[in-house]
Amino acid sequence: MGKRWFGLIAAGLLVVGITLPAAPAMAAPTFKVPFPCGQTWSGQTRTNHSPAYAVDFNRTDDLGDPVVASAPGTVDRVTDLGGTSYGKYVRISHAGGYHTYYAHLNGFNVSVGQSVGYGKVIGWVGSTGGSTGPHLHYEQRLNGSDIQVRFNGALALYWGTKNYTSDNGCGSSTGSGTVNTSGTALTVRSGPGTGYAAVGTVADGAQVTIYCQTSGTSVTGTYGTSTIWDRIGTDRFISDAYVYTGHDGYIPNVPRC
Ligand SMILES: [Zn+2]
């Protein structure tokens, strides 16, 4: 009898356990500090702020400093409210019903409809609108409602002032290419030029990962004449003149070495 009761209670708890959790929300974008990689800014939250969860960012001599997109998205507002409210502000629409706001800007570097990624400069810190000094007023919203700000998933300090260091746009994206020499293996050099030591070869048709690109010796190859060299490993470079990357010249988003 005791066992049966226990079983019934356990079954009841199990049902409760299954029914309680809310439907999982769509994952939030990974928002990053809205300034270039490596910069440290003081972010202030306060209970009398409007809206309440907005963060005001400052650092020394910040007037005119670049403001970057907090996460990938599409710019859906580039608006100048004049001497009131946000003044010059940008809004970015992100996946899952999220928006970010960047207000009191000095100027704009994007237009409505533009796709932006991490690290993209969208404007410059200013003191436009209802602002008494240069700063960035920053908001995250979900379905239109002001939400507590998170960077890399970590909640901002509520309430108070804290330093935030940006890792926005730090992650170097890589490119890829296909070596095309029409037969012979391509010499890999220890640096970006034919004067560097040969440190190996890559076969015709090989797929390579390109970590960064730089300018070096001019080489005439399968794809014309180019001074671009691709770094495909540690101290391993090949001439871009023999690599099909889908781009003439430098590959967008692949860093310079
Ligand atoms: Zn503010």
**What string of DSSP letters covers 142-210?**
ETTEEE--EETTEEPPSSEEEEEE--TT-SPP-EEEEE--TTSPEEEESSSSTTSPEEEEE-TT-EEEE
Neighbours of ion ligand 1 (CB under 5 A): 54, 56, 137
Q: Decide if 92 contacts 70 (C-beta within 8 A).
A: yes
pLDDT in tens, 45-82: 999 999 999 999 999 999 999 999 999 899 999 999 99
Q: For residues 184 and 226, state if they share a domain.
A: yes
Q: What is the CATH number of the domain that holds 65?
A: 2.70.70.10
Over residues 168-209, the pLDDT tens digits come to: 988 757 788 999 999 999 999 999 999 999 999 999 999 999
pTM of the entire predicted model? 0.62
Measured in whole angstroms, the distance separating CA 247 from the mean position of its chain's CA atoms is: 22
| Residue 204 lies inside a defined structural domain of this protein | yes
Confidence of residue 155 (pLDDT cuts 50, 70, 90): very high
Ligand 1 centroid to residue 90 C-alpha, Å: 14
The closest of 38, 42, 83 to 62, measured between CA atoms, is 42
Q: Are residues 193 and 131 in the same domain?
A: no
Same domain, 86 and 200: no
Residue ending a domain, choose from 165, 187, 205: 165
Total count of domains within the chain: 2
Residues 103 and 148 in one domain: yes
Q: Ligand 1 centre and the CA of 215: distance in Å?
A: 44
Give the distance (Å) from ligand 1 centre to CA of residue 9. Answer: 52
Cα–Cα distance, 91 to 216 (Å, whole number): 41
The answer to whether residue 3 sits within a structural domain is no
Centroid of ligand 1 to alpha carbon of 55 (angstroms): 6
Residue 92 lies in domain: 40-165
